[in-house]
Structure 1
């Protein structure tokens, strides 16, 4: 048989083998013992923490007839078939390559059939966050009302990309990063079973480099075994991980805080000549600075995290370096790490980094003096600022006095000029906003606009906002539906610049349409308008459709007419079966314009009031649907 990787050979087959996740495994075992298993589970967490392994163990346990203390026997035919992947009732799907609607519909259709051999048909969907919106919608109904004897286990590393409607229908388990000490114990157990010799220092380095993932640790261990001919040495582990020796890192930091630029550059050159990755060097240096800072606060915690790597040189450096120096070094390292991602000449950045670090201001013994001097300078700056403010206030008072003493004719000449400038500036600003208003899409929506449709969209608007991303919610947080018809909805924006941003964002419109499809079962056409232009658009529409408005209603700054709370049902005798007069599609708009019509002191009849009375009568009746 061909060689298999360590993480495949030593994959957990029982809940007891799943290290670092004791709370989750105990909960699942208790559910199996008491028979309180759910129809859907969601396993989330970083890579290599045991999500898929736990799913397969659970699939075996729920179908095993010889369950003992919640653990599968791994001896019966069902357990063996699930272990080698030959049981058709346990289906493992990679959502990264099967993320379409058709694949999920196929799962939904096949889930209706009873399992062939096992008691439960188990679907394990890995990387479920990769499913498309349509695929999630297809899966939603099945999760809500699943067939009998079917269990879904969803696994993902990015749970924030999964819709809340999916999460709420599952039992969620969050897998945590595995501690380096736990990884070290597991690697020691595996190597002892295989009879491989190793240096404990090398395993500690691998456990730290794995960053909480057991699979990553076993992959690095496998590579180190191949490089060292079944011997794990510290030097081999350094070569495989690309890490820099701890002594070199400490020497470099000592040279940096002492201002020894030449020696620090020589250390950098030796590290580069040894073939180390510059990006990995910066990461290791940042980690060492973190350990130094934490060691000064809690010695025992760092010794446990670093698995005893802390030596005398580390302790000596922690006594000589100050917290302020560590802050400055980490800040510079972070900037350089970001720059290294976008350059091909990384050696130059490390040399510049070295010169910059050796010239950082000393903060060790003079920290208090510098703080005191800063306080004095701040006090002086504050007094100068107050003197300047007082001087400016006196100048403003003198100018105000002089203006009040000038003849009234001089003052009245400036106002028209200012107003003229504003009048000239307003159309230009308005033109930039009006340039993208889609009247050809707005008018058809207004033709069928009704109050009931608008209320429907207003009720679901908060849920729709929750389904958007953080960036999309930032754009839509000042928006509100102002009119809605059978095939579309008009959304008003309080600020014109957000209207323009939303107008050009196709992803935002797609997200809104997909969200409305899930919530109301309809994909309406969404049209954006700026709030300050909505009254004018509405007035023009009413005028073109034979319902004139007074000139004052066009320029008034009120809430959009279609967004009022009055009803338009009228001329009802109280009998639900009595026929109502024909209602125009834009009846809501006409009556709401009536609510927003400004008071006119003249004795001329209000044309809007007359038109509304002709269409609906003068009695307002609130008709509620059963």
Structure 2
């Protein structure tokens, strides 16, 4: 018999064989065991997560002659025929190539006929989002009220393209990306069964490259075994996936740490000459920077480092990078990644990136510009002019003072902390005003899928954040560490993308609001104590304290000096 790919040989044949989808498989198993299966299902999720496999298992289970607790026996004639793809009552249709109205009308005409061998006639329509609008309309009535003993199972990677009228007529199951640990365990099981020696680091690289897809992982594993003549070594996995070796990334980062652009470029040319992907290269730089930030920040955080990336050599140069420079490197690499996806001149962009991050003057200038006090950038002439203007304005306010209100007293300006200026309390209170436990549970359910939609850089940033409150219109996300909160809060483009992706998953408009976890209990208590609500203009006011009327004189003073430095004292 011809050789079969690993993902075909090891395709799950029972619900218990499906990896990483325990909630879905348990639900389907119980439905089959209790004879409470639906007439239509929708399986959605990323590629290679088990949608089609579960559809085939469900088709077998409902028709099996000797089911065991909702599982197909795989021994009766029906199961054997289904496993060999010769059961006429299980019809698989690829919607990508059969997406017209005529094909769906043909199905509609044939569903009226009873099954020939099995109890149920099962239609599995893969990539159903590829159907035309006319085809969806033709399917609609049949999907709503199919004849007895007919079941439809729709599978798709893009559920947002399916009309709501179709979704409402199905039981929907959202397949999630499979965790790296589950993929590793499955590959280890297969290799041990085949009695093949393997390197654990090689499996780590393959699992990371698969990005949550079991089929992709097994395909890469198959390729690595072929390349290494039925041996899995670290070198084989790196060659097949295009991943950098530890020596290559260490050499490059060492040159960056030593502020040596010439040596860094030499290392870059060697890496690109070895056939490594520029995009994979940038991803590795970000992963290293993320681990160095965790290592430099706190001893507890260092336990969350990726041990497969952080070698002793990289840890030895960790003290040469401070967090400000690591953030700068990540920003530059992220910007370069966008250019790499839209250009064929990857070498040029990588050269520019290498020079930028290996020249300390650039990073230092950036940091100093952010930290520089205003007084250092303004000459004495400007200061004197401002003093004269302030003195003149003070005299004007003194002349405007009435008997009831004394002149405003200029207090010492208290600079607000960075954290307070970044907090969007209005948006937080708006979420708290209509927050429910069910909304929070729904937000937590879609959180893994939301993270999977982010880039590696963004996922690293959000690794220490979780939803803590949610309403119909928004989600409050708390960060364990303030530095990550500040990084995310300052990136308006990222916040917008995060909110849009959450809205797509929840199928409604949704705003993501960020808060440091250390400040969250205080903000929540403040809201509860003051019974804060939102008025029609979206401004935060207290129900217990009505808005006080102000004097025109005071308004003028506030307008001139700002409410931070005006103190009103009554006689």
TM-score, with length taken from structure 2: 0.63
Q: Aligned partners of 1:306 and 1:279: how far apart in 2?
A: 19
- Contact in 1 for aligned 2:260/2:359 (Cα 8 Å): no
1:184–1:380: structure 2 CA closer, same or farther, 3 Å change rule? farther
Using the TM superposition, give the Cα deviation of residue 8 of structure 1 relative to its aligned residue in structure 2, in angstroms: 0.4
Q: Is the 8 A contact 2:180 2:212 kept in 1?
A: yes
Match status 1:344 vs 2:326:
no
Deviation at 1:253, TM superposition (A): 2.5
Distance in 2 of aligned mates of 1:46 and 1:8: 18
Match of 1:153 in 2: 153
Match of 2:93 in 1: 93
The CA RMSD measured in Å over matched residues stands at 3.2
**Cα contact 2:44–2:156 (8 A) shared by 1:** yes
Q: How has the CA–CA distance of structure 1 residues 127 and 304 changed in structure 2, closer, same or farther, with 3 Å as cutoff? A: farther
Counterpart in the other structure of 1:272 = 272
Report how far residue 189 of structure 1 moved: 0.7
SS at match of 1:151: strand
Contact 2:294 2:304 in 1 (8 A): no
The question of whether the paired residues in 1 share the 8 Å contact of 2:191 and 2:197 is answered with yes
| C-alpha distance 108-335 of structure 1, shift in aligned 2 (>3 A) | same
**Whole-Å separation in 2 of the counterparts to 1:343 and 1:21:** 38
Post-superposition offset of 1:204: 1.2
Counterparts of 2:307 and 2:189, CA distance in 1? 17
SS at 1:122's partner residue? Answer: strand
Question: Is 2:15 the partner of 1:15?
Answer: yes
Q: Hey, what's the Cα distance between the residues in 2 that align with 1:305 and 1:50? A: 29
Distance (Å, rounded) in 2 between the aligned partners of 1:197 and 1:304 = 28
Further displaced range: 372-381 or 282-291: 372-381
2:117 aligned with 1:117, yes or no?
yes
Q: Please state if 1:47 is matched with 2:50.
A: no
In the TM superposition, 1:166-565 aligns within 5 A as: 166-294=166-294, 306=306, 308-359=308-359, 361=361, 372-374=371-373, 376=375
The normalised TM-score by structure 1 is: 0.58
Cα contact 1:55–1:153 (8 A) shared by 2: yes
Contact between 2:125 and 2:154, CA under 8 Å: does it hold in 1?
Answer: yes
| Larger relative contact order (CA 8 Å, sep ≥ 6) | 2
Contact 1:303 1:310 in 2 (8 A): no
Once the 2 structures are TM-superposed, how far is the Cα of residue 302 of structure 1 from its aligned partner? Answer: 7.8
Q: 1:72 to 1:251 in 2, by over 3 A?
A: same
SS in 1 for 2:122: strand
2:296 and 2:79 mapped to 1: Cα distance? 52
Distance 2:122 2:161 in 1: 23
Cα deviation, 1:344-377, whole Å, max 9, x if unaligned, reads 332222212111111255768996x765524546
Residue deviations 1:215-270 (CA, integer Å, cap 9, x gap)? 11111111111111111111111110111113322332232243211110111011
Give the secondary structure class of the aligned counterpart of 2:372.
Answer: helix
User: When the two structures are aligned, how many residues end up with a matched partner?
Assistant: 392
Q: Secondary structure at the match of 1:231?
A: coil
Q: Residues 117-136 of structure 1: matches in 2 within 5 Å?
A: 117-136=117-136
Larger radius of gyration: 1
Equivalent residue for 2:65?
Answer: 65
Separation (CA, whole Å) in 1 of partners of 2:158 and 2:28 = 22
* Counterpart contact for 1:257–1:358, Cα < 8 Å: yes
- Paired with 2:348 and 2:338, the residues of 1 have a C-alpha distance of 14
Query: CA separation of 1:290/1:115 partners in 2, compared to 1, >3 Å: closer, same or farther?
Result: farther
Equivalent positions of 1:578-589 (< 5 A) are none
CA distance, structure 2, for counterparts of residue 303 and residue 94 of structure 1? 46
Contact 2:24/2:173, CA 8 A, preserved across alignment? yes
Query: What SS does structure 1 have at the residue aligned with 2:146?
Result: coil
Measured in 2, the distance between the counterparts of 1:376 and 1:81 equals 82
The 1:93/1:291 distance shift into structure 2, 3 A limit, reads farther
- In structure 1, distance between residues paired with 2:318 and 2:40: 50
Deviation at residue 55 of structure 1 after TM alignment: 0.6
Aligned-pair CA distance for 1:211: 0.8
Superposed CA offset, 1:141-181 (max 9, x none): 11111211111111111111111111111111111111111
Q: Aligned residue for 2:477? A: none
- Separation of aligned partners in 1, 2:300 and 2:122: 45
